[in-house]
Amino acid sequence: MLSVPDRPAEPGCGDARAAASPRPVRPGLRARLATWWAATAEITELTRDREQEARVRDEMAVRLAPGPGAVADLFRRR
């Protein structure tokens, strides 16, 4: 809450109580995209089923012949 000064306002200055507050700054497109990306990544991370991923990888290792793209999975830590 604004305090009212003891002396009258100078002419032309207007009343401090009637002064409009500055408009909030709206974030730009880059900031909104960064926020969206971070939120999406966090939701994805929180809703992952790591046990199912491990089962799928194990099944893949048994049933599929590993190709050049799957070499990294052969040496992956578990």
Question: And the tokens for 77?
Answer: 């830590």
Q: What is the pLDDT of residues 40-71, one digit of tens each?
A: 999 999 999 989 988 888 887 777 766 776 77
If one counts the domains in the chain, the total is 1
Of all residues in the chain, what percent are helix, strand and coil, respectively (each to 5)? 55, 0, 45
Residue 64 lies in domain:
49-78
Whether pTM exceeds 0.85: no
Tell me how far apart the alpha carbons of residues 48 and 40 are, in angstroms, rounded to a whole number.
Answer: 12
Establish if 71 belongs to a structural domain.
yes
The answer to whether the beta carbons of residues 23 and 10 sit under 8 Å apart is no
Whether residue 14 lies inside any domain: the answer is no
